[in-house]
Amino acid sequence: MQKFSWTVVGMSFLITVIIQSVRQYHWGISELLDLVIGSSPSFFYVVGLAFVIPIVKHSCAIRQFISTVVFIVLGALVYEYEQLLTHRQFDTNDLYATFSGGLVAILLFLLTRSLIQLKPIQDSKPGSGLTIQRYVVHLFRD
């Protein structure tokens, strides 16, 4: 689980940095692009921060992970609300991106936990090599 968590955290950080650095050059081209580059940092912030917990704690229960994600989402929502109160940049799409990031983080966690618990099926023919299921299980095991 730690390898996968490091991958998610690294990818979230990398994507956020890339979007933050290029969005000023691509702003105003289309509404869809503005939505994606404007709200995706909120999405990747939640996903990346949620997967720090399995890195720090070697074993993370599902209930603990979900409660952590809920607190991360609540913290991000408080930050968005604070932007509204201080008359800074407030965007309702960031709220949706934050909620979506929380849901994706929980779904990714549940998916990886279920893949880790899979036991590979024996091939019908001996020596037939690495199956896709074995490869996926090997990828997520530490």
Q: Is the dihedral of CA 86, 92, 97, 98 positive or negative?
A: positive
Selection from 67, 69, 94, 57 nearest residue 79 by Cα? 94
Tens of pLDDT along the chain (142 residues)?
678 888 888 888 888 888 888 877 777 777 777 777 778 888 888 999 888 888 887 777 888 889 999 999 999 889 888 888 887 777 788 889 999 999 999 999 988 887 766 555 444 455 555 455 555 555 555 4
The predicted model scores a pTM of 0.72
Give the Cα separation of 72 and 17 in Å (integer).
20
Q: What is the pLDDT of residue 33?
A: 77
Give the burial class of 78: count Cβ atoms within 10 A of its Cβ; 0-12 exposed, 13-18 middle, 19 or more buried: exposed
DSSP string, 48-66: HHHTHHHHHSSS--HHHHH
Q: What is the pLDDT of residue 57?
A: 78
